[in-house]
A and B are shown apart, each in its own frame.
Chain A
Amino acid sequence: MAERDPADAVRLPPVTQLGMASLALIVAAGIYLSAHLPKHVPLTPAVVLLAASALLLAGNLTALARVTGFAWQRFAQVARWALLAYVIIAGMIEYVFLRNHTSGGPLVVLTLSLVIFAVHVPLLIGFTVARYDDGS
C-alpha cells in the first residue's frame, strides 16, 4: 500500500526554508548590534540584514498567496493565535530594550526585527499546519 500525504498534492513554495533564512538574518542583525554595546556601532550591516530579512518575508507572503488550493481557512485558524502569542513575546523583548534606554537607530532596527519575528513565526506555524490539511 503506497501512501501520500496532502502536502504532496499541492506544489508549494519553500516557505519553511525562506522563513528560517529570514529569521537567521534578523538574529544576525540582533547579535551584531548587541555585540557592540555600548559603543557607537555603524548601523549599515544591521540595516542590510534587516532589509534582506524583510524581502524574504515579503517573498514568502507573495509566493504563498499565489498557491492555488492552499488550506487558507486552516492557515488563518492557526496563524492568528500564533500571531497573538508571538506579538506578546516580541512585546516582552521590546519592553526590555526600552527599559534599558535603547534608542535611535538601534531601537528602530531591533523593533523592525521583532515585527518580522512576530509575523514570520506564525506564518511558518500556519503554513506547516495548513500544508497537511485535508479538509477533515
Chain B
Amino acid sequence: MTSPSGVVQAGGSPVAPPALERPDFQIVPRAGLPIVGLVMALLIAAVAANKLWPLEFFHVVGGAAWTVIDLFLGFVLGPIIGRLSIPARIEFTTRLMPKMVLIMPTVVTATLVAGWQLGTHLGTVQSNYYLHGWVVASFIVVGVMAVVALGLLEPANIAVLVELKKPRPNPAVIERLMKRFIYTAGVTGVMQIATLVIMTKLASG
C-alpha cells in the first residue's frame, strides 16, 4: 500500500513524505530571460555578419563556459553535493539548478551555432582541411555529450526542480534524480576533457 506520494509505513498504512524545508524559487528564473534573448539576438547578428571576431568570441567564450561548467560540476561540485545533508542539498539545488536551466542551453547553442559558422568561415569544417579527422572527432564528442545531456541530464534537472516546487517533495524521488544528474554530469565532464584535447590540437595546428 502506498500513498499518492509513494511512501509506505512499516505497518502498511500510507503516510505523506516528511516535509522538506526549501526556499521559494522559480524553475525558470524569469529575470534571466531577457539576457538569454539578448545573447541569442547577438548570436544571430554574429552569424549574419560572418565576421571572424564575433564568431570567434561566441565560440571561444561559449565553449570555455560550457567546458568549465561541466568539469566543475562533474568533478568538484557533484561529489560535494553528493555528500551534503538532504536539507543542504535541497537548498543548494534550488539556488543552482534554476540558473543552469537558462545558462546551459544558451551556452551550448551559442558554442555550436558560432562554431559551425566559424568553421565554415575558416574552412576548417571542409573535408580537405588537413586536421579533418580531429574536427570529426570533435563532432562525435559533442554528439555524445548532446545525447547524454538532452536525454538524461536536462530532464533530471527539470524534474528535480518540479519535485521541489511541490508542497511535500518526495525525498526518494529527489535522491534518485540527483544521482542521475551527478553521474551524467561526471560523464559529460570526462567528454569535456576530450574536447579540451581536440580543441587545443586544432588551435595549435
Is B8 a contact of A28 with CB atoms below 8 Å? Answer: no
A16 to B177, CA, bound (A): 13
Give the number of A-B contacts (CB < 8 Å): 140
Set of chain B residues within 8 Å of A19, measured between Cβ atoms: 151
> Shortest distance in angstroms between B162's beta carbon and chain A's nearest beta carbon?
5
Give the nearest-CB partner of A135 in chain B.
Answer: B4
Q: Mark A31-70 against chain B: 1 for CB-CB distance below 8 A, else 0.
A: 1001111110000000000000000000000000000000
Known A-B contacts A6-B173, A24-B147, A93-B112; A136 and B166 likewise in contact (beta carbons under 8 Å)? yes
A92 to B58, CA, bound (A): 14
Known A-B contacts A92-B40, A99-B48; A6 and B6 likewise in contact (beta carbons under 8 Å)? yes
Which of A7, A27, A135 counts the most chain B CB atoms within 10 A?
A: A27
Is A128 a contact of B155 with CB atoms below 8 Å? Answer: yes
> Shortest distance in angstroms between A84's beta carbon and chain B's nearest beta carbon?
11
Is B126 a contact of A38 with CB atoms below 8 Å? Answer: yes
A82 to B154, CA, bound (A): 10
Is A16 a contact of B152 with CB atoms below 8 Å? Answer: yes
Is B140 a contact of A31 with CB atoms below 8 Å? Answer: yes
Is A125 a contact of B140 with CB atoms below 8 Å? Answer: no
Is B43 a contact of A92 with CB atoms below 8 Å? Answer: yes
A105 to B70, CA, bound (A): 35
Is B143 a contact of A127 with CB atoms below 8 Å? Answer: no
Known A-B contacts A23-B150, A27-B143, A99-B48; A132 and B155 likewise in contact (beta carbons under 8 Å)? no
Question: Residue B156 at the A interface, CB < 8 A?
Answer: yes
Is B147 a contact of A34 with CB atoms below 8 Å? Answer: no
A-B contact pairs, 5 of them (CB 8 A): A4-B8, A9-B6, A85-B105, A134-B5, A136-B4
Binding site for A on B (CB under 8 A): 2, 4-10, 17, 28, 40, 43-44, 47-48, 50, 105, 109, 112-113, 116-117, 120, 125-127, 132, 136, 139-140, 143, 146-148, 150-152, 154-156, 158-159, 162-163, 166-168, 170-173, 176-177
Name 20 extra pairs, CB < 8 A, besides A1-B9, A23-B150, A129-B155: A2-B8, A4-B2, A9-B6, A19-B151, A27-B143, A27-B147, A31-B139, A34-B139, A35-B132, A35-B136, A37-B127, A38-B126, A38-B127, A96-B113, A99-B50, A128-B159, A132-B159, A134-B166, A134-B170, A136-B5
